[in-house]
Amino acid sequence: MLTREQMAMRIARELQDGYYVNLGIGIPTLVANYIPDDIDVMLQSENGLLGIGAFPTREQLDPDMINAGKQTITARKGAAIFDSALSFAMIRGGHVDLTVLGAFEVDINGNIASWMVPGKIVKGMGGAMDLVAGADNIIVVMTHTAKDGKSKLLPACTLPLTGAACIKRVLTDLALLDIADGAFILRERAPGISIDEIAMKTAGKLIIPEHVPEMNVA
């Protein structure tokens, strides 16, 4: 299975020169450490920073510089700091080219559930609902199964939705999949992971092309 760092490396390959990108809480934040040297992207955090840099070293650490997940960060050259109202205006106005989010569940119709589990404490929905509504290009990054072994790629989400029919691509610790025409389409598999294992752990309809390459996470 892919490590968190390998998942971040693979997502970094989805970035394109000139992109404005929002990185969600959790694994997506690690993408900031693996942006290719030959492209220029601006990372946005909904708490009011455009131009996130790599995570700080001990010498760079500034407790006042944090992302939406309360992690300390750095700001790159050309960064801008502003209030959350302007930040969400950027998101809601469709000015974010790519959003990378974690999730509890994703289904074959591109629905995503990521903000609450009924019966558990909910600190707030955060900016996820705005992000999935405001961005055309959204990639979900998550483990393929929950801690109890049940698939998180479903025929239909069972948890309250964050957004409907908005997810087109999913990266898990086992595979990269697209979502189209009411199915997950297997595009790449993690090194050493068989197609049979992916199929066994995918509850929603899965289309398997004739050739499914191993993922390059170097």
46 counts as catalytic = yes
Q: Which two tokens stand for residue 37?
A: 């040297």
CB-based burial of residue 71 (10 Å sphere; 0-12 exposed, 13-18 middle, 19+ buried)?
middle
H-helix segments, 65-136:
84-92, 128-134
**E strands present in the chain:** 20-23, 42-45, 49-52, 75-81, 98-101, 105-107, 112-113, 138-141, 153-154, 169-171, 175-180, 183-189, 206-207
Which residue from 115, 139, 141 is spatially nearest to 126, judged by alpha carbons?
A: 115
Which residue from 69, 65, 99 is spatially nearest to 81, judged by alpha carbons?
A: 65
The answer to whether 91 touches 130, Cβ cutoff 8 Å, is yes
Q: Which of 46, 59, 197, 214 is catalytic?
A: 46
Which residue from 150, 147, 141, 149 is spatially nearest to 175, judged by alpha carbons?
A: 141
- Mind giving me the DSSP string for 118-163? TTS-----TTHHHHHHH-S-EEEE--SB-TTS-BSEESS--SPPSB
Active site residues: 46
